[in-house]
């Protein structure tokens, strides 16, 4: 999401590093360019202006100008101020009894999905969340929450379709919750396309009745300059305690993340990336500052991989690799493991400098659809063919191509690369060299169907190897 801003900041900082001697003038010129970049990224004008002034005040001190690496010091000041702008330390939820969480925001921000995501996250933490449907206006909102709650394995209170009094719904829900053995109640409320008096009045009534410990504003990261107005209105109305940013995986310019925290003084507590229910993450200001500055978020990447990869299955596959027993069934298991990690560009976007590397990759190298196509080829094989790829000859290959909707060339290339991979399994050094050389439909990380020529397979394999722990790659 922050790629455009990161590129602009990178250029400005490179210019600062390239100056032989810094002065107040060239610092001012560089910071002016950074301020323009922030405003273009939808950071509210006064927020950008005040932020730059704070960085400038620190940067023009005599000790900085006379230091050996003044450019590096200014970057450090910028990073520190950016972390502070985003909230400083990570802010946890207040879930002391009675733990009630009120979710609010405009239509389209993702309140209902976020409510279910939060419930699933709390459930994984060992709590017993309950979902309450309080959106009585949007068509199918109640049904949507019920469906998402079922997917998350969380009980949902659904009011009668004819009910119009949101406070009565909340009162009935509290009575229902007493028999559900729940520890956290999450109330999904109605939104509007824009803030109006009816919305605010209803939200105030509900808030006064529930007296929630947490009132979380769900805000679309693509909101832009309007983010400040939205956050201010909701905060004035009900006193929000935190913000959840959604759609951080989109192509929004990201200014909302930098503006709302500064204007409201309320922390960003979570960030949503993707549509899957497990794609809600704690918001860590220092990590987000690193991402904006192109330094990535390795800790976040490891957490995501560790949460979604079954270590026992990964090590079982590694053992079969080392024994030379790896077959297409194992390969299929690995592909499913990778798909569980979510979009590859989102995950790899947490790597330092990946935005630059991404521009060098062939078109579609990180497209999960390529994995699906490869998976279709493997699924078109019989169990015997998966166990003994050497028996897949001419007529079998034609049948597999027809069954998977692929070309015979794709099938031939996959089998060839897989055969080469099997030969190399017992020699990690040779295997790495092979992965670096793999091209065509295969290539990225040594997994056929994940890249193309020059896709950098060895680099990704090294990354996954490090994430596996103990020097062994789970892939």
330 is in an annotated binding site: no
Is 29 part of any known ligand binding site?
no
Neighbours of 404 (CB within 10 A): 20
> Is there a binding annotation on residue 461?
no
Q: Is 248 annotated as a binding residue?
A: yes
- Any known ligand binding at 320? no
How far apart CA 98 and CA 203 sit, in angstroms, is 19
Return the H-helix or E-strand segment holding 299: helix 298-308
| 247 annotated ligand binder | yes
Query: CB under 8 Å, gap of 24 or more: what pairs does 3-7 form?
Result: 3/355, 4/40, 4/41, 4/253, 5/37, 5/38, 5/40, 5/41, 5/253, 5/254, 5/292, 6/291, 6/292, 6/293, 6/294, 6/355, 7/355
Give, in degrees to the nearest 5, the angle at Cα 58 between 55 and 64: 125
3 state DSSP class of 217: strand
Rounded Cα distance between 430 and 421, Å, is 10
Q: Is 351 annotated as a binding residue?
A: no
**460 known ligand binder:** no
- Asked whether residue 111 is marked as a ligand-binding residue, the answer is yes
Q: Is 107 annotated as a binding residue?
A: yes
In whole angstroms, what is the distance from residue 449 CA to residue 77 CA? Answer: 43
452 known member of a binding site: no
* Spatial strand order in the sheet of 280-282: 156-157, 129-134, 184-189, 99-104, 214-220, 242-246, 268-272, 280-282
Is 110 annotated to bind ligand?
yes
Is residue 190 marked as binding?
yes
Computed over its alpha carbons, how large is the radius of gyration of the chain?
A: 26
Written as six digits, the tokens of 245 are 């940013």
Residues annotated in a binding site: 105-112, 188-192, 246-249
Residues annotated in a binding site for GTP: 105-112, 188-192, 246-249
């Amino acid at each position: 999401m922050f790629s455009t801003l990161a590129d602009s900041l990178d250029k400005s900082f490179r210019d600062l590093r390239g100056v032989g001697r810094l002065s107040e003038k060239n610092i001012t010129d560089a910071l002016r360019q950074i301020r323009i970049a922030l405003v273009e990224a939808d950071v509210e004008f006064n927020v950008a202006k005040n932020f730059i002034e704070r960085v400038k005040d620190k940067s023009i001190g005599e000790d900085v100008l006379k230091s050996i690496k003044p450019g590096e010091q200014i970057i450090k000041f910028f990073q520190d101020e950016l972390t502070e702008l985003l909230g400083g330390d990570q802010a946890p939820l207040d879930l002391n009894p009675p733990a009630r969480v009120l979710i609010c925001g405009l239509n389209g921000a993702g309140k209902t999905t976020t409510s279910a995501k939060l419930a699933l996250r709390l459930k994984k933490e060992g709590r017993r969340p309950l979902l309450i449907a309080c959106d009585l206006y949007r068509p199918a909102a109640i049904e949507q929450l019920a469906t998402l709650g079922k997917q998350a394995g969380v009980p949902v209170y659904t009011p009668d379709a004819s009910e119009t009094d949101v406070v009565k719904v909340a009162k009935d829900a509290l009575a229902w919750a007493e028999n559900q053995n729940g520890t956290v109640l999450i109330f999904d409320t109605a939104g509007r396309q824009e803030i109006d008096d009816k919305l605010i009045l209803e939200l105030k009534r509900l808030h006064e009745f529930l007296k929630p410990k947490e009132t979380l504003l769900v805000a679309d990261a693509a909101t832009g300059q309007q983010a400040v107005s939205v956050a201010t209105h909701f905060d004035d109305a009900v006193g929000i305690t935190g913000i959840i940013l959604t759609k951080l995986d989109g192509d929004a310019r990201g200014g909302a993340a930098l503006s709302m925290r500064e204007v409201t003084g309320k922390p960003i507590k979570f960030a949503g990336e993707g549509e899957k229910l497990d794609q809600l993450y704690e918001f860590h200001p220092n990590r987000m500052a690193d991402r904006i500055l192109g330094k990535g978020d390795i800790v976040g990447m490891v957490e995501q991989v560790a949460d979604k990869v079954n270590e026992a299955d990964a090590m079982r596959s590694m053992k079969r690799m080392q024994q030379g027993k790896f077959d297409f069934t194992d390969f299929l298991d690995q592909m499913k493991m990778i798909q569980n990690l979510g979009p590859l560009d989102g995950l790899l976007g947490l790597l330092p400098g990946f935005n630059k590397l991404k521009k060098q990759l062939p078109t579609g190298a990180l497209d999960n659809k390529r994995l699906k196509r490869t998976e279709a080829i493997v699924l078109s094989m019989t169990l015997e063919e998966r166990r003994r790829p050497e028996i897949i000859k001419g007529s079998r290959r034609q049948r597999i191509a027809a069954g998977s909707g692929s070309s015979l060339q794709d099938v031939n290339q996959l089998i060839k690369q897989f055969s080469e991979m099997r030969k190399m399994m017992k020699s990690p050094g040779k295997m790495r060299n092979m992965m670096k050389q793999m091209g065509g439909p295969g290539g990225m990380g040594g997994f056929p169907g994940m890249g193309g020529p020059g896709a950098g397979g060895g680099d990704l394999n090294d990354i996954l190897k490090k994430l596996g722990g103990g020097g062994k790659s789970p892939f």
